[in-house]
């Protein structure tokens, strides 16, 4: 048994200290960034924000909206080759679409079918993203799966996770052929992993540690989960995240699937974790008795068009940049100083 005594931080534990700035308008800030990758010869330029690969957010409808802003969508792993072939907007959205997969033998076969079909495409946009996504990224099997995938499809931009510490971040990049590691164990609004297992790492400290490890190995990280407001997104980038993934904040809109229900005069849409009993029953017909539900089912208050939320978050991020003299998103970590706080908001009139 070992105890680490240094304090680990979440987004709510800190604020970003303002600094003298030469920026006089949010319009002077660029949120696009160009990436080259350690294990792929592909390059990508866009806004490094990602919709999570959940049933209600990792959809073609969400992708159509986000692609207009050069934002990525990590599509649900339950889409197959025919779903991609029959999607009319895919030709224009491939560079901002991420294919998701698990690590079973059947997952590999299904993914190979998509990638083989994709490799024969004549689309001008030949970028292909793949996210190898499991809840516990510490398994040796995910490293082996990624290594095999890299050997067969050498030029994909490869994401894998989730992890929350230095050593596995390095392992996936150096030995798994991964370009980007997805980090975060249990911070998501629909995740019950910390409650059911006691396992996790406060998300800001997770980002800082994993970013340092990934950058030392030539790779990148995605901060996955824990974003409750635009300020949290700014803190994630300030901590060294290269990409930020959101689920709940991109849920509850017109473009998210599912019916809008009304209760006591208020409208809601359903949002649920992919390890929830609800998701297990939907996709596999049951939840196995050897596991417990590690996801919530949440009624998200209806938010209207997704476009409004996108503009709110990008606007908040630009504003954060003007407070710290970061003229582009890549410079945010260099311009960020965190201060520890006991309280960050005055909530006296909050409902």
Which residues, at least 6 apart from 148, have a Cβ–Cβ distance to it below 8 Å? Answer: 108
DSSP character string of 303-335: -B-HHHHHHHHHHHHHHHHHHHT-SBGGGHHHH
Q: Is the dihedral of CA 312, 129, 203, 209 positive or negative?
A: negative
Assign residue 322 a region: left if phi > 0, alpha if psi is -120 to 50, beta otherwise? alpha
Tokens of 343: 């309280």
Q: How far apart, in whole angstroms, are the C-alpha atoms of residue 273 and residue 96? A: 23
Which of 74, 131, 146, 191 is an active site residue?
A: 191
Tokens of 331: 């410079």
For 266, the 3-state DSSP assignment is strand
Q: How far apart, in whole angstroms, are the C-alpha atoms of residue 314 and residue 233? A: 9
Q: Which among 168, 272, 260 has a CA at the least distance from the CA of 210?
A: 168
For 101, the 3-state DSSP assignment is strand
**How are beta strands 97-101 and 71-74 bridged, if at all?**
parallel
Phi, psi of 102 (to 5 degrees): -90, -160
Judge whether 32 and 45 are in contact, CB under 8 Å: yes
Q: How far apart, in whole angstroms, are the C-alpha atoms of residue 328 and residue 335? A: 10
In this structure, the number of other CB atoms found within 10 A of the CB of residue 134 comes to 19
Q: Per DSSP, which regions of 23-79 are E strands?
A: 33-36, 43-51, 71-74
Q: Is 74 a catalytic residue?
A: no
Query: Tokens 């604020």 sit at which residue?
Result: 15
For 38, the 3-state DSSP assignment is coil
Helix, strand, coil shares, percent, the chain, to 5: 35, 20, 40
**Hey, which residues are catalytic here?**
191
């Amino acid at each position: 048994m070992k105890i680490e005594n240094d304090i680990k931080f979440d987004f709510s534990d800190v604020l970003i200290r303002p600094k003298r700035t030469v920026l006089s308008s949010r319009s002077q800030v660029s949120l696009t960034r160009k990436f080259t990758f350690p294990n792929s010869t592909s390059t990508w330029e866009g806004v490094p924000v990602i919709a999570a690969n959940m049933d209600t957010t990792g959809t073609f409808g969400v992708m159509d909206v986000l692609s207009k802003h050069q934002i990525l969508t990590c599509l649900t792993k339950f889409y197959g080759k025919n779903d991609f072939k029959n999607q009319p907007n895919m030709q224009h959205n491939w560079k901002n679409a991420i294919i998701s997969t698990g690590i079973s033998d059947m997952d590999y076969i299904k993914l190979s079918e998509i990638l083989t079909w994709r490799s024969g495409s004549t689309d001008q946009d030949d970028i292909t993203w793949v996210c190898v996504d499991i809840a516990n990224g510490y398994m040796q099997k995910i490293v082996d799966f990624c290594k095999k995938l890299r050997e067969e499809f050498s030029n994909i931009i490869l994401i894998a996770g989730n992890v929350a510490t230095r050593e596995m971040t390095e392992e996936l990049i150096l030995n798994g052929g991964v370009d980007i590691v997805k980090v975060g164990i249990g911070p998501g609004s629909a995740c019950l992993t910390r409650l059911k297992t006691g396992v996790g790492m406060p998300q800001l400290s997770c980002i800082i540690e994993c970013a340092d490890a990934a950058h030392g190995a030539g790779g990148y990280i995605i901060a996955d989960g824990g974003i409750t407001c635009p300020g949290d997104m700014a803190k994630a980038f300030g901590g060294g995240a290269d990409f930020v993934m959101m689920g709940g904040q991109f849920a509850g809109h017109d473009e998210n699937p599912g019916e809008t229900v009304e209760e006591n005069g208020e409208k809601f849409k359903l949002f649920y974790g992919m390890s929830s009993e609800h998701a297990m029953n939907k996709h596999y017909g049951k939840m196995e008795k050897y596991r417990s539900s590690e996801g919530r089912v949440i009624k998200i208050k209806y938010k209207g068009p997704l476009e409004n939320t996108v503009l709110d978050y990008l606007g908040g991020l630009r504003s954060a940049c003007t407070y710290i003299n970061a003229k582009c998103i890549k410079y945010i970590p260099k311009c960020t100083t965190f201060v520890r706080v006991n309280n960050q908001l005055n909530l006296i009139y909050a409902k």
